[in-house]
Amino acid sequence: MPLTTRINALKEEKMTQIRWQIPVVLMISILVSYFDRMNISFALPMIAKDYGWTVAETGKYGGLLMSVFFVGYGISTIFMSPIGERFGAKKSIIAVVILFSLVTCLQAPVGMMLTLFVAVRVLLGLVSGIHGPMNGVLTERWFPINERSRANSIWFCGIFAAMILAPLVVVPLCEFLGWKMMFVVIGLGGMIITVPLLKFFVYEEPEDHPKISVSEIDYIQKGRIVDTEKETALSLMSTVKVLGRQRIFWLVIAIGIINNMIAFGLVSWMPTFFTEGRKLEFSNLVYATSVPYILSIVGALTWAYLGDKTNKRGFLSSLAFLGSGIMICLAASTSFIPLIIFYFAAMIFFSAAYNANEIAFVQRIVPSERTGTGIGIYLGLSMMLGGGLGPILVGGAVSISGSYSYGIGSLSVLCFGCSFLAFFLGRKLAY
């Protein structure tokens, strides 16, 4: 028997689990990406001090700096995703990591020139936009439908890991090196860590991996056949036309927009809420803003498992949004720091429910041939509108009321609205 035949026979004897290394590496790339985009939230108290901003000005200009990122991000995600898909998901992700790392460094020299600072934040969004859609493309190619919530939730946990680890890294860097040099260290460090991992451990297709077994490839391919009625879309506009006839897709986008308003409104203003609203020492942000997000990873994996096992992702999300709204109300109405951290932790655990399943919703609805474009449309609109409006909503409430409590508390209304929409989604889509 030829050597290659014997090797293939051995590979068929036991199914490998190579596919699970893909979302783990993608998780690290997302972690680095979120370090680069959210570090400004932790630096904002120092930035506001250097600019000499009042509370109202911090709400106005701080909200602007955090929100303009999503304008660039949304535009890029929608219009560049088809190009990224043709270029190749792996190559696109590597290019994105290099670009957003360099742009992060660029924030250091322009930091005290507000107009240029805002422009660079837009640029950071533009070069980051196709990261999520390309991750979704790889997940769709590497996983059967019954494992996608778990696979997506693994790389999505990079967001939560960043929220846990960012205070541990960004706050000390700001204190010892200053907020400008922090941008340089974060930008270069992330690129050095991530690019080699993507190059050597991520493959475009399962068949490209040198160590994967034939039985695992067969398992993946059989599990990807999900809906014979899905149509083929060959361009961005044809995908839009296909999805335009599916109201359920736009319902998912509506929930995604509001969910991102909640998520980015909270993460953008939590550090300032603690330091200015509750007079917490800046150095103590390390525990106050990282501890709540520990439960986010537990929540994402728990809700993803329940979603895959019950096929009731919409109803689970509805219940979780209701819990999130209650926890935000409680956090905004108390001044006892440990209790605030507990309420935020519970809120973040609940909010992970929709995050764990949103990409799976899109993958279920969108034509499989254009997964990247469909996810790009979803993430582009939900991030641009939701991510952009969330910090502005909270910042506007702070600016008008002069109270950080009212700013954070305003997010509870959005949670209750999402709970209703997610319940309706659960009734319309049995998945």
Look at residue 369 in the predicted model and tell me its pLDDT.
Answer: 65
**Residues 174, 43: contact at Cβ < 8 Å?**
yes
Tell if the pTM clears 0.75, that is, is over it: no
Look at residue 73 in the predicted model and tell me its pLDDT.
Answer: 86
Look at residue 227 in the predicted model and tell me its pLDDT.
Answer: 43
Look at residue 129 in the predicted model and tell me its pLDDT.
Answer: 86
Q: Which residues of the chain have pLDDT under 70?
A: 1-13, 225-245, 367-372
**Residues 257, 43: contact at Cβ < 8 Å?**
no
Tokens representing 162 are 């960043």
Distance (Å, whole) CA 142 – CA 129: 22
Task: Count the helix, strand and coil residues of the chain and give each as a percent rounded to the nearest 5.
Answer: 85, 0, 15
CA dist 392 → 63, 382, 422 (Å): 5, 15, 24
At position 95, the amino acid (one-letter code) is: A
Look at residue 2 in the predicted model and tell me its pLDDT.
Answer: 54
CATH architecture of 19-225+233-428: Up-down Bundle (1.20)
Number of helices and strands in the chain (H, E): 20, 0
Give me the DSSP letters along 206-239: GGG-TT--HHHHHHHHHHH---TTPPP--SHHHH
Sketch the domain layout of the chain as residue ranges.
Answer: 19-225+233-428
Look at residue 1 in the predicted model and tell me its pLDDT.
Answer: 47
Look at residue 315 in the predicted model and tell me its pLDDT.
Answer: 93
